[in-house]
Amino acid sequence: MADVTALDATNFESFMHQPGAVKVLRFWATWCRPCIALEPTYNEVAGELKGQANFGEVDIDQAPEIANAFGIRSVPTVLVFKDGQPVDAIVGLYPKHHYTIAVTKAA
């Protein structure tokens, strides 16, 4: 979990402005079973690719303003940003390689 930063209104902007061009955000909720199922995979990808991207997660119930700002309507959603712009979105639960490819493609 150390490779993934929990984000809310207090630290979101500073996370997005950290050094490193690629940011990856997982939008999730505690009541969402696919979100819970994705967590170990996401953490694994974050650990493996920590040198290529910064990884964060947003609980949509704790930070709805962030989810609304990105038009999140379904969880889990993983957004990949390069230079502050979204370049990929994965909505739903997929095998690990989908997430790895999305991040490495942006890096």
Positions marked catalytic: 32, 35
48 φ, ψ (degrees, to nearest 5): -75, -30
For the beta carbon of residue 46, count every other beta carbon within 10 angstroms: 23
Q: Per residue in 10-40, is it b (16+ CB within 10 Å) or e — as a string?
A: eebeebeeeeeebbbbbbbbeebeebeebee
